[in-house]
Amino acid sequence: MAAAGGWAGGTFSNPVIPGFHPDPSVCRVGEDYYLVCSSFEYFPGVPVFHSRDLVHWEQIGNVMERPGQLRLPDTAPSSGGVYAPTIRHHDGRFWLITTDVSHDGNVLFTATDPAGPWSDPVLLPGVKGIDPDLAWDEDGTCWVTSAGISQIAIDPGTGQTLGAPRRLWSGTPGAKAPEAPHLYRVGGYWYLLIAEGGTERGHGISVARGPAPYGPFEPCPANPVLSHRSTDQAIQNTGHGDLVQAPDGSWWIVFLGVRPGGGTPGWHVLGRETFLAPVTWSADGWPVIGEATPVMAAPPWPPRPVPGPAARDDFDAARLAPHWISLRSRPQEAVSTTERPGWLTLRARGASLDDPAVTFAGRRQQHRACRARTLLDPAAGRGGLAVRLDERHHYAIEAAPDGTVRAEARIGPLRQTVGELRLPEAGPVTLRADIGGPPEAWDPRQGPDVVRLGVEEPDGVFTVLAELDGRYLSTEVAGGFTGRVIGMYAAEGTVRFDWFALEAEKDDAL
């Protein structure tokens, strides 16, 4: 298989944006595609990606990167925060609508450049529900359609609602959680694409159409048009999609899915990822989504690779790159790359990773087999390297000023030191987390991977302090909507990091 997002021998590999990048929404302007995803409790909010071929994506910014744009309190729960954005281009501007379920509700942003800066939020107190969509009809009316499925007209400049909300088609009878609506004008019809069945194994995409943006809608007789429920496909939980038309007239869909592994019932640890599949139209005018598999036939235009995030960051820039995320906020006094040039300085606010206010800077885990390392100076504080799912599910390797290094595990209500050593002398230390395949002895209760925590010597020797089952850092165990994030934290005083490296193993297929 080609590397994730790669292109070899006329194929590309799914997911096109691996790791915790759920609820994708996409729009095209000329030959350029722009895609956004949910960010939940992390700051900055709503990553923005650019591509010229729908396969190779580069993160160019974040929509919500100023404190006034995203005001998540420390009490905002994990898997709260920012849900399901929709991005559209209309009247020469980019528009983005999303839901901050922990503070502001539905909000609208605009930008002339999708890389930013984006505007301050326009509040939409009259728009109820989550997963809002934006669409403009021929007379210029702006329609917001949200989970439920309900719809209301708005003035996008002020956020004022126009008229009363109305209920639209709510999906297949008996299917739970109709959500993620997207509305499109194609030919003589308005098509309403929704997700239904819940975001677990029963997830799917269905579609209806009508003569106007408000219907009435008739369902496609072939619904769901995409679902991997009750199959042995490697990609599961497929749903929450968005259609886009390429310059050559072909149609495509980006959607979320997961790659579970291990024994039964299977555990996914990277979160919901962004996948791509082709779309054709049937003779009677319904969208037909091609089979979504790990290896797909490449689109019929030349690949245009873009640089991905560097494996190593030496913190030489004045600010962190767009792919770095923190928890709920990132106060300047707590996170700095300039206080000690060439180092990332983290100043503790919370006492441990259990604390929602902990100072943290991390990257989404994008490979199922990978290695994370960082050189930490604990002279003025206590901190370390963590593999995090939420406050109640995380593993960490932590160093203290006295030279003590501990491996810690938090699984639900239990928190335990699972390994410890005392360095011969206090000082900077390289902490390491290796994430790899499961043990060779198969067991139906076996997780998808093993997380090994320890210390790396200057000669590269890895002293492992703990070897932990990765299933406890999975959505199936922890619940919620996010995936693993690997990064650095400060639990006491001030902790400085000289560099951080997150590298995929040569064989990333577990």
Same domain, 339 and 475: yes
* One domain for residues 316 and 394: yes
User: Helix, strand, coil: what percent of the chain each, to 5?
Assistant: 0, 50, 50
66 and 141 fall within a common domain: yes
Same domain, yes or no: 156 and 111 = yes
| Mean per-residue pLDDT, 20-28 | 98
151 and 194 in a common domain: yes
pLDDT tens-place string over residues 209-220: 999 999 999 999
Last residue of a domain, one of 260, 290, 320: 290
Q: Are residues 211 and 326 in the same domain?
A: no
Please indicate whether residue 509 or residue 351 has the higher confidence score (pLDDT). Answer: 351
- Co-location of 330 and 419 in the same domain: yes
**Predicted confidence band of residue 1 (pLDDT cuts 50, 70, 90):** very low
Cis amide leading into 356 (omega within 30) = no
What is the model's pLDDT at position 2? 40
Residues of the domain holding 373 = 312-504
> Are 325 and 286 in a shared domain?
no
Residue 35 has pLDDT above 60, yes or no: yes
Q: Per residue in 130-142, pLDDT tens? A: 999 999 999 999 9
Confidence of residue 441 (pLDDT cuts 50, 70, 90): low
Mean pLDDT of 303-309: 86
- Does any domain span residue 380? yes
Quote the number of domains for the chain.
2
Nearest to 16 by CA among 273, 209, 201: 273
- Does residue 39 lie within any of the structural domains? yes
Q: How much is the average pLDDT of 422-441?
A: 88
Could you give phi then psi for residue 62, rounded to 5 degrees?
A: -140, 145
In a domain, residue 295? The reply is: no
CATH code for the domain of 206: 2.115.10.20
Same domain, 378 and 461: yes
Do 265 and 319 fall within a single domain? no
Pairing relationship of beta strands 344-347 and 404-411 according to DSSP bridges: unpaired
What confidence category does residue 509 fall into, taking pLDDT thresholds of 50, 70 and 90? Answer: very low
Count Cβ neighbours within 10 Å for each residue of 282-308 and write b for 16 or more, e otherwise.
eeeebbebeebebebebbeeebeebee
Query: What tokens were used for 328?
Result: 């709920």
Does any domain span residue 5? no
Looking at residues 302-328, what average pLDDT do you find? 93
The domain boundary residue, chosen from 226, 256, 290: 290
Query: Do the Cβ atoms of 132 and 122 come closer than 8 Å?
Result: no
Average the pLDDT over each of 85-94, 114-123, 287-296 and give the range with the smallest value.
287-296
> Which are the catalytic amino acids?
23, 179
**170-190, pLDDT tens digit by residue?**
899 999 999 999 999 999 999
CATH number of domain containing 453: 2.60.120.200
The verdict on residue 305 lying in a domain is no
pLDDT at residue 148, rounded to an integer: 92
- For the ranges 111-125, 305-319, 476-490, the lowest mean pLDDT is seen at 305-319
Model confidence at 22, pLDDT cuts 50, 70, 90, reads very high
